[in-house]
Each structure stands twice: as structure tokens, then as C-alpha cells.
């Protein structure tokens, strides 16, 4: 007889009574989540945490008496608990939210501007709270020197086919994973296209932060712009990004077609479009994230002769998306996060033969959640 899992116990921390009620109403739509309490500031939240022992915290950044970022850092040190940051859709709010992700928050959502907008936020918030409840908080340290620079230099990319592209897809825990990969890659690589499940405005701040620490240009993608070596483009929040090939020129296309796996941008549209445009010239990487977004597209890329790489379970915050791709036998290489830059560079050197049948990563057992 199958036992029913207890609901996820959520505590909402926000100084606005209107927002607290809106978030509570949104989470109440899902029977698998129980809002056990709310708090107007970190001091009240501390008492509620000790009393109620929630599984997940939703946390505002801008609050009186103590800001959310300071409270988050204290929590991570003394009382680790999965945190979903709820931040204003402004540039300052976006920067604070990214700092919170660096400090250990699991995910971020944009704060509703009014009670009526909660209908749009609700499904996203539910998904992120569920992902946070499944997150691995005690992540292994990933030292910057885990792959010696000399080895990466020895693998420096040599110009190959003009249609070569590198694709990265991620969700929960992905901002830090993407940063860990991109900051270890050298300049002059083929174009890099990135999809991270992230709200509007936050994506621009994320691209700007990456640009400060990468050896190549990183920015938000613009509709119709051409790809070129040494350029990494991030899908803007609320827009799917696809790859197009016309008259020998690769371009990115942005659209607001319906969400895929409850999210926009989603990894699937990018991976699927790459499979049908550049095929074997794609190197696709699937990083940490809840659900199965990107798994089907990765399978199509592998069938077309491209090289596919997935982050291993031990270094994932949530091993949902990589697991789903592995279960489809769509992954060539499963490696720890700190080894993915080297795996990408080796993949770029690998000959791509049409119709080549390469060994695949054995499929995992089907137990465990793989759908969003």
C-alpha cells in the first residue's frame, strides 16, 4: 500500500500583508503544499521557524529591521533551510536576488505588483517551492582550481565547423552552476546559448553579472541577432529562445509562445531547434533543475550526432532535468559540475560523423520525479 507523502510545510516572510496573503492564496491552490505561517520580518520569522519547523521559506529581500539577504546568510550558517526569494521586478531587486542565490537561496520569483497578478505567479511559485523542498542544500565545494588552467589551455578550441554551437540549459540551482561553467571556459569559443528558468528583468542582471567574470562577451539575446564566436547569449525572462539557420547564418529567435513545462523560457525549444538546424554540430549541456525540461531535445540532438553532457547527481541542487535525460539514454557524458568545462572543450574537438552511433550513458531506474 502506497503511503501519501505529507504536504510541504511553507513559511512566508514578507513585510507586506497584501503580498503575504497573495502568496499564501497562491500556494493554497496546491494540496501538496501547506502554508504553516507567515511573518512580517526576519525577527518574527526566526520565532516561527523554531516553532513550526517549515520545509521551505519564501523570503522577501527588502524588509525593515533586517534585510532578507542578511537573514538568509544567518540562516544558511545556523539553520539551513531551502529558501525561495520573492523579489521586486526592478534592477536593484534583481541584483539583490542574484546575491541571495549566491548566498544559498534555491530559487527566485518576481514579486507580484498587485493581488490581481498572482494568477500568473501562482503556478511558478508552486513549482519553485516544490523544487526547493527537494533541493540538496549541502552542496560540495567546487574549488576554482579543480581543473588546472594548464589542462584547459591545452584543450583550447581550434576553429571547426562554422555551425558549431554550445547549448546550456538549467533550472533550480542553475544560476550558480552556469556561472561555475562559463567562468572556467576560455575566450574564442563557438557561440554559446543559455536558457535558465528565470523571471524577466532578473535575466538581464544575471547576464550582466556573468559578463563581469567571463573571458568572452555575455548578454541577453535580442530577437533575430546573428551568432558569432566569442559571444554567449542568455534567453530573456518570459521569452523562449530558438536557433534559426537562414542563408548559412545562425540567428536566435525569441517568442512568447505558451510556456513549456510551466516555464518561459524553457530549455526544450532551444534544444529542439538546435537538433533540426545544426544537428551534429551542437554540444548540449543539461545542468541542475527540477522536472524534465530539455530531456527530449537532448535526445534529438544526440540522434542527430551532437554531443550531450549532463551534470551528475552529487553536484546538482536538484537532479531532475539531468536524470530525465539520462533515463531517455540521451546523454554521452555524465560528469561533476567542476569537470563540465573540460568536457565541453573535449567535445568540441571530437569528430562528428553523420549517423555515428556512440556509446550512451546507461539509463537510470525510473524511480523519482522527472516531470515538472
Closest CA to 301 of 326, 323, 282: 282
Q: How many residues does the chain have?
A: 372
Let me know if 30 is a catalytic residue.
no
Let me know if 197 is a catalytic residue.
yes
Phi-psi region of 202 (alpha: psi -120 to 50; beta: other; left: phi over 0): alpha
What distance in Å separates the CA atoms of residue 273 and residue 254, rounded to the nearest whole number?
Answer: 12
Q: Which among 14, 41, 55, 293 is annotated as catalytic? A: 293
Q: Which among 157, 197, 240, 281 is annotated as catalytic? A: 197
Q: Which among 87, 88, 94, 171 is annotated as catalytic? A: 171
- CA 256 → CA 30, 91, 246, distances in Å? 26, 22, 21
Return all residues near 318 (Cβ < 8 A) that are at least 6 apart: 131, 134, 135, 136, 171, 172, 173, 288, 289, 290
What distance in Å separates the CA atoms of residue 183 and residue 188, rounded to the nearest whole number?
Answer: 13
Helix 42-52, helix 68-78: angle, nearest 10: 30
Rounded to the nearest 5 degrees, what angle is found at the Cα of 318, between the Cα atoms of 317 and 320?
155
Residue 100, number of CB atoms within 10 A of its CB = 24
Let me know if 246 is a catalytic residue.
no
Q: Write out the catalytic residue numbers.
A: 171, 197, 293
Amino acid at each position: 500500500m502506497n503511503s501519501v507523502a505529507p504536504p510541504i510545510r511553507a513559511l512566508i516572510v514578507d513585510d507586506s500583508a497584501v503580498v503575504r496573503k497573495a502568496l499564501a492564496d497562491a500556494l493554497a491552490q496546491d494540496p501538496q503544499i501547506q502554508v504553516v505561517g507567515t511573518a512580517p520580518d526576519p525577527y518574527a520569522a526566526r520565532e516561527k521557524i523554531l516553532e513550526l519547523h517549515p520545509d521551505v521559506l519564501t523570503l522577501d529581500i527588502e524588509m525593515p529591521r533586517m534585510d532578507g539577504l542578511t537573514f538568509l546568510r544567518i540562516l544558511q550558517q545556523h539553520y539551513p533551510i531551502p529558501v525561495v526569494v520573492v523579489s521586486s521586478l526592478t534592477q536593484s531587486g534583481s541584483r539583490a536576488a542574484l546575491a541571495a542565490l549566491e548566498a544559498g537561496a534555491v530559487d527566485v520569483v518576481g514579486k507580484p505588483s498587485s493581488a490581481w497578478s498572482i494568477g500568473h505567479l501562482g503556478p511558478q511559485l508552486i513549482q519553485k517551492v516544490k523544487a526547493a523542498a527537494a533541493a540538496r542544500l549541502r552542496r560540495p565545494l567546487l574549488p576554482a582550481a579543480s581543473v588546472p588552467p594548464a589542462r584547459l589551455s591545452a584543450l583550447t578550441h581550434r576553429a571547426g565547423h562554422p555551425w558549431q554551437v554550445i547549448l546550456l540549459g538549467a533550472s533550480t540551482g542553475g544560476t550558480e552552476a552556469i556561472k561555475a561553467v562559463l567562468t572556467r571556459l576560455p575566450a574564442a569559443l563557438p557561440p554559446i546559448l543559455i536558457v535558465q528558468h528565470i523571471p524577466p528583468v532578473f535575466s538581464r542582471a544575471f547576464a550582466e553579472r556573468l559578463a563581469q567574470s567571463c573571458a568572452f562577451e555575455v548578454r541577453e539575446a535580442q530577437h533575430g541577432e546573428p551568432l558569432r564566436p566569442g559571444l554567449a547569449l542568455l534567453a530573456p525572462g518570459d521569452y523562449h529562445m530558438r536557433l534559426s539557420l537562414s542563408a548559412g547564418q545562425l540567428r536566435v529567435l525569441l517568442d512568447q509562445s505558451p510556456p513549456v513545462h510551466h516555464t518561459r523560457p524553457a530549455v526544450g525549444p532551444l534544444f529542439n531547434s538546435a537538433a533540426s538546424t545544426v544537428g551534429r554540430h551542437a554540444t548540449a549541456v543539461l545542468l541542475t533543475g527540477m522536472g524534465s525540461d530539455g530531456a527530449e531535445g537532448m535526445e534529438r540532438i544526440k540522434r542527430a550526432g551532437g554531443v550531450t553532457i549532463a551534470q551528475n547527481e552529487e553536484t546538482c541542487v536538484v537532479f531532475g532535468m539531468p536524470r530525465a535525460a539520462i533515463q531517455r539514454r540521451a546523454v554521452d557524458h555524465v560528469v561533476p559540475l567542476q569537470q563540465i568545462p573540460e568536457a565541453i572543450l573535449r567535445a568540441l574537438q571530437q569528430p562528428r560523423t553523420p549517423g555515428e552511433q556512440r556509446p550512451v550513458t546507461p539509463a537510470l531506474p525510473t524511480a523519482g520525479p522527472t516531470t515538472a
